[in-house]
Copies of this chain bind each other. A is one copy, B any other.
Amino acid sequence: MPGIGPVSATRIAYYLLDRKREEGLSMVEAISTALKNVALCPQCHNYTDEENKLCALCESSKRKASKALCVVETPSDVVAIEASASFNGTYFVLHGHLSPLDGVGPNELHLNDLDDLIKKAEIEEVILATSHTVEGDVTASYIANMVKKHQIKVTRIATGVPLGGELGSVDGNTLALSLNYRRDM
């Protein structure tokens, strides 16, 4: 498991055996419930707790009314954007990015479902929030071309210098893009 090596694992095992047998058993129960019951929302492909039912975000009429769809790579990106309280539309989770060498193509990311959703939900703007890596950018371009066929607006989240940062602490490529994508004042 990430962040737990052999030493930590041993320490946790003895801790549970020595002092927390009951808590350990209820933890096992909770993990097993989660693993058995957490399903994917049939519409946005985010995690949800009931199978074959839309998740809370997809159900929300307020969210649907905004007609904006944000495409992200992972469920944790949805959590990050929701925490920033800056987006009021619905999501589509790719669960990865295009990576032909690893056998991940448009089918593995279920881009046909995305295509259907855009048409069905009468989306007016698709915001591509895949990460700013080579794979993320390629995935964004691919989806942009797909969406543009329907004459729908496609945007990409801004690349640039993060808040609070000095220019010297930002890498050169980000700085170059930040100059390149400068905005009018």
A156 / chain B contacts, CB cutoff of 8 Å: 182-183, 185
- Establish whether residues A86 and B176, one from each chain, have CB atoms under 8 Å apart when the complex forms: yes
Q: Which one of B73, B144, B173, B175 lies within 8 Å of A185 (CB-CB)?
A: B144
A84 / chain B contacts, CB cutoff of 8 Å: 172-173, 175-176, 179
A80 / chain B contacts, CB cutoff of 8 Å: 167-168, 170, 172, 175
A176 / chain B contacts, CB cutoff of 8 Å: 84-86
A7 to chain B, nearest CB (A): 26
A interface residues, tally (CB under 8 Å): 55
Please judge, given known A-B contacts A131-B165, A184-B155, A185-B156, whether A179 and B86 are in contact too, CB under 8 Å: yes
Interface assignment of A157: CB less than 8 Å from any CB of chain B: yes
- Establish whether residues B132 and A87, one from each chain, have CB atoms under 8 Å apart when the complex forms: no
Interface assignment of A15: CB less than 8 Å from any CB of chain B: no
Interface positions of A (Cβ within 8 A of B): 70, 72-74, 76-77, 79-81, 83-87, 127-129, 131-133, 140-141, 144, 153-168, 170-185
Q: 22 A-B contacts, Cβ less than 8 Å apart?
A: A73-B167, A76-B167, A77-B168, A80-B175, A81-B167, A84-B172, A86-B172, A86-B176, A86-B177, A127-B182, A131-B164, A132-B165, A141-B185, A154-B184, A154-B185, A156-B182, A158-B159, A160-B160, A160-B178, A162-B162, A162-B170, A164-B171
- Which 5 residue pairs across A and B have the least CB separation, nearest first? A158-B160, A86-B176, A160-B160, A84-B172, A158-B181
